[in-house]
Amino acid sequence: MKRMLFSAVLASALVGLLAPGQASALSMRLTDGLNTVTIVDGGAGDSNGAAGAVTWIGSLGAWTLNVSTGLSYPVLGSPIDPHMDLNSVDVSTSAVPTTLTIMLSDVGFLAPSFSPLATIGGTTSGTVQYNIFWDPGNNLFATTNPLTNSGPLGPGAFANSQTGGIAGPGPFSLTQVVTLSHSPGTQTSSFNAELKSVPEPVSLLFLGLGLLGLGLWRRQTVHA
């Protein structure tokens, strides 16, 4: 119980360092192999004003339309409870096969042990590859250690989930990587890729006890 209380206090203190409207380290990068754009939360090209959220709308080479949004703390999760989300709609028009890689990265995670659940779903005219990496050096866009590997997925509708694990002290960075591969012509992909922690057995126990207590309370209220 003391450990849980300490974790909650630590999370509140760390999240409090990022005041509303203040730029965070969260960053998103798109590249087709020849052209690259990097958007930092609160920086140039970010059309989302909230700290912990970054959105880019634009074209990149043969990828004529891209609407991409990435979320991390303090919008989702916290340094001790990682939770990231990357979603995008992308259209390409090309005479040859083309590839687009979208990365979402954040630093400063402090979870002493982290069991990630990586899920992705969407539709594509081509194929989709989804990977997650973590870096004990706490560097943005670092692909030092692989966590999960999903794909290739598609064409058509797709859905996949993978789990992994990190053990050791922080801080560390997390990076989501989604690679879209399209054939010649006009092709479209849309996806939502989420990274969050798998509830620990103790947390599930407390949740179950809470639900049981709520049920007993409602039963007593009805018969009162």
Q: How many CB atoms lie within 10 A of CB 115?
A: 16
Rounded to the nearest angstrom, the gap between the alpha carbon of residue 152 and the centroid of all alpha carbons in its chain is 19
| Whole-number Å distance between alpha carbons of 25 and 142 | 14
pLDDT of residue 4: 37
Of 161 and 214, more confident: 161
The answer, yes or no, to whether residue 213 has pLDDT greater than 60, is no
Lowest mean pLDDT among 10-14, 35-39, 45-49, 102-106: 10-14
Outline where the chain has alpha helix (H): 2-16, 201-223
CB contact at 8 A, 34 and 63: no
Q: What's this model's pTM, rounded to 2 decimal places?
A: 0.80
Longest dimension (CA), the chain: 73
| Whole-number Å distance between alpha carbons of 46 and 53 | 9
| Whole-number Å distance between alpha carbons of 166 and 172 | 10
| Whole-number Å distance between alpha carbons of 100 and 90 | 9
pLDDT of residue 165: 87
133: nearest Cα among 121, 122, 143: 143
pLDDT of residue 7: 39
pLDDT digits (tens, 9 = 90+) for 53-94: 999 999 999 999 999 999 999 999 999 999 999 999 999 999
pLDDT of residue 199: 67
